[in-house]
Structure 1
Amino acid sequence: MEDKELIAAAKKYREFSYSPYSKFKVGAAVLTKKGNVYGGCNVENSSFPMTNCAERTAIFKAVSEGEREFEAIALIADTPEPCSPCGACRQVMVEFKIPKIIMANMKGDVQVVTLEELMPYAFTEF
């Protein structure tokens, strides 16, 4: 699957965002090694710590379906620069060793980084 296809899937899931407080819609799509795509959006809560990001929603959906090996994740939001994942999402990406992170915005800007570039000093099982 090409990066632009994964970004398009993330963009589709962005439309499902439940963001009544921030009005900040985020979509994500994760590609597994089996070739399956799982999408997610951010889901807010009036108790802000209970909010779940799009990236974690997509990853957790995949994991809940038995997936454990991933190729890439794309995320998209209406930001000036390509949307970067938060620290919690970065750590979940480390946990599941997602090697390629595709960050995009609604203007069409894209930045692709490796997991090592995104989290050079991540917590790991070692």
Structure 2
Amino acid sequence: MTDLKTVALRVRENAHAPYSDFQVGAAIEAASGTIYAGCNVENVAYPQGTCAEAGAIAAMVAAGEREIKAVYVVAGSPMPVTPCGGCRQKLAEFGAGDVPVTMATTGGIEQVTTLEALLPGAFSPAFMEPNE
């Protein structure tokens, strides 16, 4: 996870957080082993911002990949910050339940969990199948 940690810490420095001053960095390892990064990008119209995890997912998909193998999220908070509900569902779209998610602080505290533990009962393509 060291590579993911390094990338997430580095990209966090690029966050655009002039309103909350809460910078978040995320790094995702895809099935190929390539690491994609994202940072939060706030907007004065608050709901229009983008989470770090969503940015990393967008970069992965833009590169043509569709499978997440590991996630690392870091923020300058007193305790590890979890992905928001929307990002949990976005991560579940591209990762299996056993994908490790490391949540960390810039001070070095880390907590490791899985996508399934973060979002039990995630909405999945199985719900979209016809009911016959």
Q: TM-score, normalised by structure 2?
A: 0.90
Percentage of identical aligned residues: 44
In structure 1, stretches of 5+ residues that fail to align are none
CA distance in 2, matches of 1:32, 1:95: 13
**Which residue of 74, 77, 97 corresponds with 2:75?**
77
Q: Which amino acid aligns with 2:108?
A: G
* Residue 119 of structure 1 pairs with residue 116 of structure 2: no
Aligned length: 124
Q: Cα distance, 1:97 vs. partner?
A: 1.5
Q: Cα distance, 1:112 vs. partner?
A: 0.9
Question: Where does 1:1-126 land on structure 2 (aligned, <5 Å)?
Answer: 3-97=1-95, 99-126=99-126
CA distance in 2, matches of 1:63, 1:20: 27
Q: Cα distance, 1:119 vs. partner?
A: 0.6
CA distance in 2, matches of 1:24, 1:60: 21
Which of these two proteins has the greater Rg computed from alpha carbons?
2
3-state SS of 1:101 partner: strand
Following TM superposition, where does structure 1 have runs of at least 4 consecutive aligned residues deviating by more than 3 angstroms? none
Q: What do you get for the CA RMSD once the two structures are aligned?
A: 0.9
In structure 2, stretches of 5+ residues that fail to align are 127-132
